[in-house]
Structure 1
């Protein structure tokens, strides 16, 4: 018997499952969290700003009164914050899924650093590498899944992150694209290492297409675009979609039983549309790039993924 066609507006029942979403106070993170909660999942909604977390949780509960959701302070640019949040989550037991969504989309014009690392790379890449490693035993216990958020920009600009900290030739756009090359390559490298060590956790990558706030429903405290933003978004309507729809590939990669490790998901028409399997940029699938970035993240964070411990946690 064939499975019914995937419907992003009607997810399978996720009651009894727990998912953690980084950067969940706005945009893709918020709407991914809402979709998970609407399907019955318990959602750990994380962010770096306590006031925004309160506003996001209140908005989610207004929209989904039966939602099971809690907040957790987490700033992916700071290793101390990552370790503290991970310790809190590990104490709870198994974790069914981890959506590595947080990130700086509009980088600073000049290179800035956090904990000694370039800010965009630290926020978009290092924090997620460290968080996924710290939570690997909890994911293994539940035989869960991690999803890294990529970008279609990696197919348009071939920025090989040989200088991931951008100590030379910094630009905001290059910092962003390199960070997305890195997250995508790390997602695939994680899957290779998980399979090689027998850890029953899957690693996938998904991208949201061209998703903009101006085409997204207004949500007080979460999405409040200006009239100009709405107008500009409508001019690009043929290429863009809402943040709600941009969350579809991320959520499908996270919960679809037919999805599996090592896959890449995105909108059907690249920039917009229902979620489908896609093909990642050649650079992000490079074994050499994946291995090099993995070692870079180990050195920069001091985190070495506990594969043996995770295998034991899975029983």
Structure 2
């Protein structure tokens, strides 16, 4: 069901003076998140693998929100070198209030592929690269005090798989669905583990997860060519009654990024699980709304601290880092 605090999703809190960086900000839920944050007054940083597409997206936001402050930064979250270079650009900004870890492969390759650093490609793109990026910019985030947060964009798919702790790299058993679902589970578990570690360290940074429900590309305005209108496929027509547009899917992410009452360790999603207004749909033990069940919840493994420690340690050591912050 979710819990609701005072929140008008049609009119989010003002975010003037805040800087928010969004990976995968040039399309889909990431682009709609950037637009809504720009409308709320935030300085937005679109972190994109393709800078041409990123500039097109930035121009679309500027056209839709006159006076919007938007910039682009190149990043390929599957590459450690690319992530470190992008993090250096973020650390050079006057301030950084929020990092939205959104970029990812929605459709994994049919055959197992590896990143330039030797990790299964979907895992590297969706989870490992975001852990590295987060660790690289934590000092910059901490300078922003209580407004600082890391929002990890999760997925209901994380509930539909179990980790293979001795084969997260899927060297012994690969299929595209498992690769995607496991990458999202690793991401969510690492996000909640980061919350535990930040809390223990007394850091002001909040780490929380938001998922977009079942979101389809059904709208184009006001983003024009950056979110081009197209005819829905027959399969999508059958799914529309259960789904919402990517504009709606962005709302839980926006709420997690700017709601002053959003807390580390919480899980945000649509009230109905698949679609609906953004609410707290679960979270780790000890936070308001804690839980893992229901259609819209994060799943038992995501909030399990044993799983969290294992995923955080694996992701940290993938980059030669110790798990301790």
SS, match of residue 96 in structure 2: coil
Name the residue aligned to 1:10: 11
Distance 1:298 1:5 in 2: 37
Q: CA deviation at 1:201?
A: 0.5
- Please say if 1:195 is aligned against 2:199: yes
1:140 aligned to 131, 139, 142, which one? 142
2:270 aligned to 267, 285, 288, which one? 267
Distance 2:10 2:164 in 1: 37
Name the residue aligned to 2:281: 278
Cα 1:284/1:306, change in 2 over 3 Å: closer
Distance 2:89 2:271 in 1: 37
Say which is worse superposed, 134-143 or 279-288, in terms of deviation. 279-288
Name the residue aligned to 1:126: 128
- Please say if 1:184 is aligned against 2:188: yes
Cα shift readout 1:253-297 (whole Å, capped 9, x = no counterpart): 111011101000000000000001112200111111111111111
Task: Provide the aligned length of Structure 1 versus Structure 2.
Answer: 302
Contact 1:149/1:207 (8 A) holds in 2: yes
Name the residue aligned to 1:175: 179
SS, match of residue 241 in structure 2: coil
Distance 1:300 1:206 in 2: 25
Name the residue aligned to 2:245: 242
Q: CA deviation at 1:234?
A: 3.2
Distance 1:306 1:288 in 2: 15
Matches within 5 A, 1:92-171: 92-114=93-115, 115-143=117-145, 144-155=148-159, 157-162=160-165, 163-171=167-175
Distance 1:15 1:111 in 2: 44
Contact 1:233/1:240 (8 A) holds in 2: no
Distance 1:91 1:217 in 2: 33
Distance 1:132 1:298 in 2: 11
Q: CA deviation at 1:224?
A: 2.5
Distance 2:191 2:100 in 1: 12
Distance 1:305 1:83 in 2: 18
SS, match of residue 318 in structure 2: helix
Runs of 4+ residues deviating >2 angstroms:
216-226, 231-235, 303-307
Contact 1:75/1:82 (8 A) holds in 2: yes
Distance 1:253 1:275 in 2: 9
Q: CA deviation at 1:228?
A: 3.9
Which ranges in structure 1 are unaligned for 5 or more consecutive residues? 308-315
Distance 1:300 1:52 in 2: 29
Distance 2:110 2:256 in 1: 33
Q: CA deviation at 1:93?
A: 3.7
Q: CA deviation at 1:226?
A: 3.3
Distance 1:172 1:93 in 2: 40
The Cα RMSD (Å) is 1.6
Q: CA deviation at 1:4?
A: 8.0
- Please say if 1:44 is aligned against 2:45: yes
Q: CA deviation at 1:222?
A: 2.6
Cα shift readout 1:122-155 (whole Å, capped 9, x = no counterpart): 0000110000000000110002000111111222
Contact 1:95/1:138 (8 A) holds in 2: yes
SS, match of residue 122 in structure 1: helix
SS, match of residue 242 in structure 2: coil
Q: CA deviation at 1:217?
A: 2.4
- Please say if 1:223 is aligned against 2:227: yes
Q: CA deviation at 1:70?
A: 0.5
Q: CA deviation at 1:299?
A: 1.6
Distance 1:132 1:252 in 2: 19
Q: CA deviation at 1:298?
A: 1.7
Distance 2:9 2:324 in 1: 34
Which ranges in structure 2 are unaligned for 5 or more consecutive residues? 283-297
